[in-house]
Structure 1
């Protein structure tokens, strides 16, 4: 009988970043510029890889999907976040919150798997170059990418469905700038043990196993590179995978620091700014570092920009 006295929540209020005061507009402009740069840079990567036959290789095929994933990730989070900052808080329906949570989880998990597939591609190219063309064919590349998107969607959907079955009857204020897992869970007035168990069981398949696979891949890559006799050969070979390794360190580092250390408190401002690193900084970092370190992409983008200006 007591449960019937609850008023169940149908919408949430996102607090965003509090106490910005005079820094609200400069912060808003900074994030808006970053978002525009992120979208332009990643779309440019997709167009460059799609339009140039010289970039129709497995590495650039995976990079193209990584950029597309970053576009979806930032577009799912940033526009609403900018509205939250400008209005110093904003409401979002329960359905909208779950939809944002689903898309966020899908993109993050898919990016984890794509980065893992890219490390496997680099491993084959460097450690087994003679068999690389026959192994990493178009059908395998397409199958791996589809598997990444399907697994990402499946794991995210399971978490979203279980979260959607929860009842919310406490304070409807989310101390974050988007609908993340821990803030949503904190507001539930029903038993969350099943959702927490699902997250605990899924974490190794989403974060731990892919990360360990990447580490082992690069251990083999490093030993192979050290076995190259010429210094120039070692430098050239390492340059082909150093950019991917840098992206992996930033992306996995921020995710692991947040989701494997929940006791630190998700509502702290430091965690909000950490969340910004993989929702905004990493998606911008990916195309920048790949274009700066990759002569092939730079040449295609230079030609593309020249044609547009002409």
Structure 2
């Protein structure tokens, strides 16, 4: 298989045959070579065998469930992992993100929205992770061009599919409209030490190389954690709201016509808690990232001891 064909592979892990066929149609129409499996164990093996760029995963499956499947996949793969589940409770979304998912979509879902979310992920570099063979942090890949563009007309006909699987396109996600993202600024308390490195109180980040270091130690972050930290280091003491950061992770940070739900904002809180844990930072006595209650996050002042 040619390298480009490998890059365009998608694995589907879904026990419901109707939804599995719908996902196959959506991803095949987008130009992906699809590998469909009906349970978590087969899905894990498929990800190992085919090294897909995208994997969709159901939460409630026989055998090992979606959370355990996601954890096992994350032990060896940096595939873009999208949960597609009928579970709509906030705790389900948070647990999925904590298990390593990149995004969470509830059923019934709109095929167009699924494609748009995958397209947004493909516009960003892949995760800086650990090379399973060497046991060392792997170099991040260069940004990938969008694998497809989202067309204006409906992507798939609903005929022949159960009505419960396709949500009307006119339905808009709930939530509050976010304020426009602040323009990147050159904060006074941030030092650029050359070669693209941003530095704040000893924490160093290079957006181009996708590296984060503290002293001699390299800190391995997921793509979402890295993007959140980079956004904060680029804007310094200016507050970044949760809605703004949620849109940033979806690749829509400068589009104000999109809405952000409370679940999206809670997802930012989960990513931020994971980021702080990896930085050995705390919300109560922050060294690098400060919470602005009810608003969002910003860098701490360089004058703080």
Q: Please give the range of the TM-score, normalised by the shorter of the 2 chains.
A: under 0.3
Structure having the higher strand fraction is 2
| TM-score normalized by the length of structure 1 | 0.26
| TM-score normalized by the length of structure 2 | 0.27
Kindly name which structure, 1 or 2, has the bigger radius of gyration based on alpha carbons. 1
